[in-house]
Amino acid sequence: MSARTRDHRGERPRAARSARRVVIGAALGAVAALAISSALTVGSRSAGGAPPAQAAFDAPVGRCLDWAADDGADVHTVDCAQPHLFESVGPLSLGGLFGPAAAFPSESAWLSMVKEKCTPLASTFLDGRYDPFGRFIVGALKPSQPGWRNGDRALHCGLQVVARSGELYRVNGGARDQDQADVHQPGTCLGIDGVDVGDPVDCAQPHAVEVVGVLDLAGPFPEADYPDENKQDEAAGPACTKLAEDYAGGPNVVAEKKLTVYWDSLRQESWRAGTRRVDCKLGALLPDKSGFAPVTGGVRGAVSIGDTPAPPAPATASPGAPAKSPPPTVPSQAPSPSPSPAGG
């Protein structure tokens, strides 16, 4: 049995979402960071003083930032070839929208500004090929409330890789030089948060899905025209099933362990941005089909599937802090086997 993992950021049933991370912004000491779905304020700027690392916040387009402290108090610029948490796509001045006496914007207002003003900058930075459903998330560094009262109206837009917990994964290399596909190395298990997908965990721990391979849809669809989801399913179904059989060690292993083959599909925005790769993975649904069942153990060993929802993941992370676990390994963009054009 196989099925496509539907993952369109809340537009599809929770039972079929894949491993997309919750979009939350970074937090950098004297400023607060935000992304499209959340706005956070961590740290503060003294009422009359300058931020602790002004040079970092004046980073021009293409400059990368990193920090070690959870509150970002030690933020500093780094060469983008080095591990970093934030890559600038450009600063914006909000002085024309908000005068000296303007109240500090609400969270929803900040989110709207990031979506409307930072996303175009990210697209320009990536030569018009930003994938809004890909690995990189558009975020921004905004003034703290004390800074706002003292006239700070700068918004620093950037790209980051965000865990579902809200923590940030470090990235090696600039975003312009990387594939934006949100794919994982085969053998990666993505944890479970209630009935939904969480951050990568050891496969011996309860998880929602286990990645068994990465499929390159450029094989069956070499033309630029977007293949609709039904066409993607026809190609991905047999290809991901074959990858799962090879990964598991035999054609009957997946069924014997009562697991199901899932795959992601790409939206038009992703296709236009040049994204072609998707994850193939194994998982199981709860008996009532309300979401993913907790699976313990990788398919190559003993597997246990729970019949009740997993508990929600504890909110122990500090959003915007560097992730405590290493970032998930992204497979290199090597040619993948071309899938059969027939469904199965």
By the 10 Å C-beta count (0-12 exposed, 13-18 middle, 19+ buried), 83 is classed as middle
- 13 pLDDT above the threshold of 50: no
Q: Is the dihedral of CA 217, 130, 104, 142 positive or negative?
A: positive
Q: Return the residue matching tokens 């086997």.
A: 337
Amino acid at 36: I
Structure tokens at 234: 């026809």
Contacts of residue 321, defined as CB under 8 A and 6 or more positions apart, other chains included, come to: 27, 69, 70, 71, 72, 167, 168
Q: Which of 284, 183, 264 is closest to 6 using CA atoms?
A: 264
Q: What pLDDT score does 8 carry?
A: 32
- 18 pLDDT above the threshold of 60: no
Q: What pLDDT score does 7 carry?
A: 39
pLDDT band for position 183 (cuts 50, 70, 90): very high
Query: Is residue 2 a contact partner of residue 240, using CB atoms and an 8 Å limit?
Result: yes
Three-state secondary-structure class, residue 157: strand
Average pLDDT, the chain: 81
DSSP 269-289: HHHHTT--EEEEEEE-B-TTS
Q: CB-hemisphere CA count at 13 Å for 249?
A: 7
Q: What pLDDT score does 192 carry?
A: 96
Position with higher pLDDT, 54 vs 44: 54
Residue 212 CB: number of other CB atoms within 10 A? 28
Structure tokens at 339: 């899938």
- The rounded distance, in Å, linking the Cα atoms of 341 and 239 is 9
Q: Which of 177, 81, 171 is closest to 127 using CA atoms?
A: 177
Looking at the DSSP assignment, which residues form a beta bridge with residue 5? Answer: 264
Residue 343 CB: number of other CB atoms within 10 A? 13
In the DSSP assignment, the letter for residue 80 is T
Give the containing element (helix H, strand E) for 210: strand 207-216
What is the CA 294 to chain-centroid distance, rounded? Answer: 21
Give the containing element (helix H, strand E) for 229: helix 229-248
Q: CB-hemisphere CA count at 13 Å for 151?
A: 3
Looking at the DSSP assignment, which residues form a beta bridge with residue 232? Answer: none
Residue 157 CB: number of other CB atoms within 10 A? 24
Position with higher pLDDT, 69 vs 28: 69
pLDDT band for position 107 (cuts 50, 70, 90): confident
pLDDT band for position 309 (cuts 50, 70, 90): very high
Three-state secondary-structure class, residue 122: helix
Structure tokens at 217: 């849809």
- 326 pLDDT above the threshold of 60: yes
- The rounded distance, in Å, linking the Cα atoms of 132 and 119 is 9
Report the first-to-last Cα separation within the chain, whole angstroms: 9
What is the pLDDT averaged over residues 102-119?
91
Three-state secondary-structure class, residue 109: helix
From residue 203, how far is each of 51, 64, 92, 314 by CA, in Å?
43, 33, 43, 18
